[in-house]
Structure 1
Amino acid sequence: MGQGASDEGRAPVLDVAGLQTRLARFADARDWGPFHTPKNLAAALSVEASELVEIFQWLTPEQSARVMDDAESAHRVEDEVADVLAYLLQLCEVLGIDALAALAAKIDRNESRFPVPGA
């Protein structure tokens, strides 16, 4: 069974490594590898993050909290989140960063830097 396929109605099992492999295969099949430098991927990540911000730019806090209630805006948000994640995973792949390990280490550092008040 390939990544993204389901078995008898079960949801596919998704994992970071599998998604990175799919992204790499997609780019390789289109000869995009030479363009996927750390600089270009970081720039693309920034552009996609800006497109996500653009959706919320003129919304009130209340409107932004309800953005997923509308099917069209929800679809736009999900697409931009996917684009941000795709470029982030590709950047991690190119640089040899384990994204989940980096996040876990950062949370550990933040827990030390910002202790719970009164604890």
Structure 2
Amino acid sequence: MTELDVQTLQRRLAAFASARDWEPYHTPKNLAAALSVEAAELLEIFQWLTPEQSARVMERPETAHRVADEVADVLAYLLQFCEVLGIDALTALSEKIDRNEFRFPVPDRRNPPEPDDRHSSE
């Protein structure tokens, strides 16, 4: 099996769409909508499961297959969305993690905040 990377997958997705003349439909708005629909289809699998059942969803081949397919659909539309808008998905994620590490520092477990102080910065 060949090693996978984001750019290769984006090229494959673009070639797939191009071969079917789908580019006119792959606007940012349409791709964002499709991404949302696919994310909802992923959520639907878990909708009525208990937390315990949801943690075991990959143990059953029929649900594991559905989850993997929906994850693939979400990722495909996200990568196509990024390609159309010129967003480097891995760079965007890395920069977001950097901002979150700054915004949400690791708590000092030796001196936990008092209960009234936990939300004082909001």
SS at match of 2:49: coil
RMSD of the TM alignment (CA)? 0.8
Alignment of 1:54-93 (within 5 A): 54-93=44-83
Deviation at 1:96, TM superposition (A): 0.2
Number of equivalent positions: 109
Q: Which residue does 1:46 correspond to in 2?
A: 36
Higher relative contact order at CA 8 Å, sep ≥6: structure 1 or structure 2?
2
Deviation at 1:12, TM superposition (A): 1.6
- Counterpart CA distance in 2 for 1:117 and 1:61 is 27
Q: 2:7 aligns with which of 17, 22, 25?
A: 17
What amino acid sits opposite 1:68 in the alignment? M
Unaligned runs of 5+ in 2: 110-122
Any runs of at least 4 consecutive aligned residues in structure 1 with deviations exceeding 4 A, and if so which?
none
What amino acid sits opposite 1:12 in the alignment? T
Q: Which residue does 1:6 correspond to in 2?
A: none
Q: Percent identity?
A: 78
Of structures 1 and 2, the larger Rg is shown by 2
TM-score by length of 1: 0.90
Unaligned runs of 5+ in 1: 1-10
- Counterpart CA distance in 1 for 2:5 and 2:90 is 10
- Counterpart CA distance in 2 for 1:102 and 1:65 is 29
